[in-house]
Homo-oligomer: A and B are copies of this chain.
Amino acid sequence: MRSLLLIAHGSRRAASNEEVRRIGRALAAKLGDNFSLVEVAFLELAEPDIATAVDRLVAAGSNEVVWFPYFLAAGRHIAHDLPELLTEARARHPEITFIQMPYLGALPGLTDWLASSLTS
């Protein structure tokens, strides 16, 4: 059972966190059978944190967790904090396969999609 973990930074502004949760729900609807569950987690300032969200996915029966950072550029969170948290998650759940996706800003096709969005 494969699930998606969408990891956002988190904001002091509740509306901003709710916006990311909304993206998670929209994605869940579009991903269909490819992912059984989609959880949104926040690095800081909002709940759930990453460990809690991973535990939820595992408790719900996921044995494959796709780790997808919802970040645009590789600041220190992408370079340091998230890799550490992924190492911790793997240590706590050695039976689970964690698949690391590029963060959003490094996904292939970003500039093609942006170029078409900006000219349509």
Contact B11 A73 (CB under 8 A): yes
Q: What is the minimal beta-carbon distance from A14 to any residue of chain B, in angstroms? A: 11
Q: What is the minimal beta-carbon distance from A3 to any residue of chain B, in angstroms? A: 12
Report if A23 contacts B (CB, 8 A).
Answer: yes
Give the number of copies in the complex: 2
Contact among B30, B72, B107 for A70, CB-based, below 8 A:
B72
Closest to A107 in B: B117
Q: What is the minimal beta-carbon distance from A116 to any residue of chain B, in angstroms? A: 8
Total number of A residues with any Cβ neighbor in B under 8 Å: 42
Report if A52 contacts B (CB, 8 A).
Answer: no
Report if A79 contacts B (CB, 8 A).
Answer: yes
- Contact A19-B118, Cβ < 8 Å, known A79-B13, A112-B30: no
Which chain A residues have a beta carbon within 8 Å of chain B's beta carbons?
4, 8, 11-13, 15-17, 19-20, 23, 26-27, 30-31, 34-35, 66, 68, 70-76, 79, 101, 104-105, 107-115, 117-119
